Structure 1
């Protein structure tokens, strides 16, 4: 077997024994071997992949690589609009995506692996109480000085361990790639009590959309974060005590 064959790559990560099927395994295998290719230095450590290659049809809207986020500018450490995840998290996400096909739906990710330098950038911004240009869109009912106390900003993030993802559901009309976002009753990174997964504030239809996302993510091994309907971490993540700082590129 070639040194960088797809199957050797998956076997090394313990994934060949899992019940993934057909093109989903092929896509994951290709992404895995690409991440450890000897012809070019890998842009991230072994065991990480570009989720867009591993999850067919995944929509990537990397908010922190641009200006559409709660700070209003690109964030440190995001050199590309890419979703990088551990192979284990990407494989579980592929299973969610596969099941969503029956509903005519798909996944859109807003953030995946997050470098520690990006978290540090968030902290510096939160300490600058003069910068409130995105308050109306992202924290209209919370004083910026309370973002730490309320748990919206922290000095460490599970995203930096590589198996946490922020995402939503999109409707795939006529099987087209992409699609419109389902109404979740609040935007991504809305720092507000209404963003809690179990909040009673959204409408019944909005709560149903949240529950569908939550149920499918839990069914495939992800743990929801109670305060944010969009935030999920892989149970049994491979790096539970490691916070990485390599650039997304």
Structure 2
């Protein structure tokens, strides 16, 4: 009995170790660029540069939730409250902001470029691919081509009424969910139409998540903000 128990003690850590290794080894099946590879890409094509959104659109509002504990992970995931995206993405966002300004509205950014390693952490804790990207495929956020955002009223500085808050894992967060007050639907649909006019597409499960139409041209990245 003691002999069998000792074998069990040995096997359980081994299995757990194999499981953990398998869970973390996503990058072995993907091309995820590090800083050196990224710099080579940018040298060959300046449009692949990650740029800070606030520097190109100073008037834009930031509410970087993953730099706080106010997110579904309930802890700080970013060390800096900053937002980056590929240069063409930011230039398209600049056009969106100008368009919205004529309507008395502006953008609030919740998240943009996300290092691949953070996506792995998200998935390990919440493996729901309706709301969290599968690391085996990577996220458009990891490519610097996805933006999480909402609308604000420029006069009041307050958020407009939307179906849910950011990062709500509910059916109401769906981009086409219909059982909502008219004002929430109108605001959501306005955001969808303006973003679409400038090259972005909303994903079906999250009204706040928009992918840049040119995302396939950009590789996955795992570069911390401090290194950009």
Q: Shorter-chain-normalised TM-score: which range? A: 0.7 to 0.9
Q: Distance in 2 between matches of 1:64 and 1:194?
A: 22
Q: Which residue of 1 aligns with 2:220?
A: 243
- Identify the structure with the greater helix proportion: 2
Structure number with bigger Rg: 2
Q: Distance in 1 between matches of 2:61 and 2:54?
A: 7
Q: 1:206 aligns with which of 159, 163, 184?
A: 184
- Per-residue displacement from partner, 1:114-163 (whole Å, max 9, x unpaired)? 1011111112222xxxxxxxxxxxxxxxxxxxx52x52222221100001
Q: Which residue of 1 aligns with 2:147?
A: 165
Describe the SS at the equivalent of 1:100.
helix
Contact 1:113–1:162 under 8 Å retained in 2: yes
Q: Which residue of 2 aligns with 1:189?
A: 167
Q: Which residue of 1 aligns with 2:11?
A: none
Contact 1:88–1:238 under 8 Å retained in 2: no
| Count, aligned residues | 180
TM-score (norm 1): 0.68
CA RMSD of aligned residues (A): 1.8
Q: Which residue of 2 aligns with 1:231?
A: 209
Q: Which residue of 2 aligns with 1:137?
A: none
TM-score (norm 2): 0.74
Q: Which residue of 1 aligns with 2:4?
A: none
Alpha-carbon offset, residue 237 of structure 1: 2.8
Q: Distance in 1 between matches of 2:63 and 2:117?
A: 20
**Runs of at least 4 residues off by over 6 Å:** none
Q: Distance in 2 between matches of 1:248 and 1:195?
A: 28
- 5+ residue gaps, structure 2, are 1-41
Q: Distance in 1 between matches of 2:199 and 2:46?
A: 17
Q: Which residue of 2 aligns with 1:30?
A: none
Alpha-carbon offset, residue 238 of structure 1: 6.5
